[in-house]
Chains A and B, each alone.
Chain A
Amino acid sequence: MNLQNILSEIENTDPDVYGRLDTRRNAMKGFAKTSGKIALASIPFALGSMFQKAYASPTAPTDLILDTLNFALTLEYLESNFYIKAVASGIIPSGDATTALTTIRDHENEHVNFLSTAITAAGGTPVSFTADQFDFTAGGAFADVFSNYGLLLAVAQTFEDTGVRAYKGQAPNLISNNTYLTAALQIHSVEARHAAHLREMRQAAGFLVPSGVTVKPWITLNQSGIGSTAVQASYDGEENVTQAGVTITNIGGKNISAASASEAFDEPLTKDQVTAIVTPFFK
C-alpha cells in the first residue's frame, strides 16, 4: 500500500483534501504515528477513520441517528421485498394497478439504496436483508398473500400506513441533524402518498370489511377496512382527536366531527410498537 499515491489520487479528485486533513505533512505524520503501532491488516480501517473524520458532515451523526436510520432501512427492506414479490406474483391486474405497484416498488428500492448509502457515508454500517429472510404470510395469518389480490392490497395498505406512523415517531430522534431529518421527512410523505393510493385501490377494488365501510385516502378513526385483527395495532390510536391539549372536534365552533378530527392528523407509533407489528414478517 502506497499512502502517498492514495493521497495524490484523492488530491486529484478533491484539491481540498489537505485542508480537511490538516496538512499533508501532518496527515502523514499522524498516520505514520498510528500505523507504526497497529497491525498491517488494520491499516485500511485506520485510513478509513482518518478520511471519515475529514469528510464527516458538520454535525457528526450520533449512534441514535445511525440506529434510527438503520431502523428505517429495515422497514424499507421489508416493503421493497414485499413489492418485488407482489409485482412478480402474476395476480395484479395489468394496467393501472400494475403500474402503481411498480412505481411504489421502485420508490421503496430507492429508499433502501438511499438509506444504505447515507448510513455508510455517515460512518455507520447499514443493515442488509435478503428475500429469504421475510415471511409475508406473517406466520400463516396471511397465507395466500401472493395469490389473493384483495389480501395483497390489504397487507400493502397496512405496510404503508404503518410506515407513515413509524417515520413520524422517529423524526424527533433526528432533530439534531438537519440533513437526516429532512431526508426522513421526504421519505415520510412519499409513504403517505403510497398509503393514499393503495387505499384508493382498495376502495375501488372492493374487498372491504366490514361490508359497506368506506376506505378513504385518509384514516378515519381507527378503521382499516381489513377483516383481520392482525392489522389492528397499525390503526389503534388513529382515532385521537386531541392535539397538544387542544380538542379538535368542533374546534372554534366549526362543524368538525370526530371522524374528520381523526382524519386531519395522522398519529405516530413508537419503535417498540412498530417492531411488534413487523416482527411476524421476519423469519
Chain B
Amino acid sequence: MLNNEKKEDQPVLIEGLAKPFSRRKFFGIMGAGTAVMVAAASCKKQDSGTVTNNTGVDLGSGDTGILNYAYALEQLEAAFYTQVIATPYTGISAMESSYLTDIMYHEVAHREFFKAALATKAIQGLEVNFSAIDFTSRDSVLGTAKAFEDLGVSAYNGAGQLITNPDYLTLAGKIVSVEARHAAWIRDMITTGSFGGTDVVDMNGLDVQRKPDDVLTIAGAFLKTKINASNLPTS
C-alpha cells in the first residue's frame, strides 16, 4: 500500500519541488501531500499502538505526521535548554555556559522552523514535565542532555525511512547531524572520549536508530501532554 501511495504522491510533490522553494509553495506542497495521505489512510496499515494510544495530540499521517513528530521532539529539547540557561547548574564553566547557550538557540531554531513550515498543520505547543531533572546539578543536567541528544539522533535516523519527500529527508538530515554534534560534545563533557561510545555506535560503526513508538515512550516521561502517534507511517 505504502509503495503505491509513494508513487501516487511523487508527481504531486515533485511538480512543486522542481523550482527553488518559496515559503508559500512549501505550505502548498504540504497540503497536497496531506490530502493524498488522508485519502489513503483508510486502507493503510495502522501502527499497533503499543505505547501510544489514540488519545492525545494527533501528530497526523504521512510526511506531515513525521514533521510534527520532529516538531514535538524539538519542542522538548528547546524547553529543556531554555530552562538550563535560565537556571544554570552549580559550578557551570564559561565554556559550558557558552556552548549550552548555543545549543539552546539551535533547538529553538529547529522548533520555530517546524512551527513555521507546518503552519496550520502544526501540532499545539506541548507541556513538559521536568520534575525528574535537578537543574542545579551538573550531573543531572548533562545526563538528561545526553539522553535527549542521543534520543534525537536515533529518532531522526529511524524516521528517515518513513519520509516520502526527498526534500524533507534532506531537511531532517540537516538537523540530525547537528544533534549528533551536540550529543558528541555533551558526552565528552561527561566522559572525555565518549563521543561515539559503544552504547551508541555498534560494531559496524552504525549509530542508533529508533522507531517513533520507542522514541515517544522515552520522551513521554518528560511530557505532560499526551501524544497520539497512531497515524504515523510505519514503513
Residues in chain A within 8 A of chain B (CB atoms): 96, 99-100, 103-104, 106-111, 113-114, 164, 167-168, 171-172, 175, 178, 181-183, 185-197, 200, 216-218, 243-246, 248, 251-252, 254-257, 260-261, 263-268
Decide: A107 near B23, CB < 8 A? Known: A182-B209, A189-B180. Answer: no
B interface residues with partner A (beta carbon < 8 Å): 20-26, 99, 102, 105-106, 108-110, 112-113, 115-117, 153, 156-158, 160-161, 163-164, 166-167, 169-171, 173-185, 188, 192-193, 195-196, 200-201, 203-209, 235
Q: Which residues from B are CB-within-8-Å of A100?
A: 193, 195
Given A192-B177, A218-B181; A185-B205 close (CB under 8 Å): no
Which of B176, B196, B203 is packed against the most chain A CB atoms within 10 Å? B196
Task: Please report the C-alpha to C-alpha distance between residue A194 and residue B208 in the assembled complex, in whole angstroms.
Answer: 15
If the complex has contacts A186-B206, A246-B26, A265-B175, are A192 and B157 also in contact, measured as CB distance less than 8 A? no
Which residues on B sit within 8 Å (CB–CB) of A195?
A: 181
Q: Which residue of B lies closest to A167 (CB)?
A: B173
> What are the residues of chain B within 8 A of A189 when measuring CB–CB?
153, 156-157, 176-177, 179-180, 207
Complex alpha-carbon distance, A262 and B128, angstroms: 27
Q: Are A217 and B176 in contact (CB under 8 A)?
A: no
A182 partner residues in chain B, CB cutoff 8 A = 157-158, 160-161, 209
Bound together, the chains give a CA A103 to CA B201 distance in angstroms of 11
- Which of chain A's residues have a CB closer than 8 A to the CB of B183? 193, 196
In the complex the two chains form, is A217's CB within 8 Å of B174's CB? no
Q: Determine the distance from Cα of A121 to Cα of B110 in the docked complex, in whole angstroms.
A: 38
Residues in B neighbouring A192, C-beta threshold 8 A: 176-178, 180-181, 184
* Distance in Å: Cβ of B182 to nearest Cβ of chain A: 7
A-B pairs, 7 with minimum CB distance: A110-B205, A192-B180, A196-B184, A172-B166, A245-B23, A186-B206, A252-B112
Inter-chain contact B209/A251, CB cutoff 8 Å? no
What A residues does B24 contact at CB under 8 A? Answer: 245
Choose from B164, B204, B209 the contact partner of A114 (Cβ within 8 Å).
B204
- B113 and A243 contacting across the interface, CB-CB below 8 Å: yes
- Residues of B within 8 Å of A107, CB to CB, are 196, 201, 205
B158/A246 in contact, CB under 8 A: no
B173 near A168 (CB under 8 angstroms)? yes
Q: Tell me whether A252 and B174 are in contact (CB under 8 A).
A: no
Residues of A within 8 A of B196 (CB): 103-104, 107, 190, 193-194, 197
> CB distance A245 to B169 under 8 Å?
no
Q: How far is the CB of A93 from chain B (nearest CB, A)?
A: 13
A267 cross-chain contacts in B, Cβ below 8 A: 174
Determine the chain A residues whose CB is within 8 A of the CB of B106 once the complex forms.
Answer: 218, 260, 263-264
**Complex: A80 Cα to B8 Cα, angstroms:** 42
A265 → chain B closest CB, angstroms: 4
CB distance from A268 to the nearest CB of B (A): 6
> How far apart sit A41 and B161, CA to CA, in the bound complex (Å)?
41
Are the CB atoms of A264 and B105 closer together than 8 Å? yes
Which residues on A sit within 8 Å (CB–CB) of B109?
Answer: 248, 251, 254, 256, 260-261, 264-265
Partner of B99, one of A181, A217, A251: A217
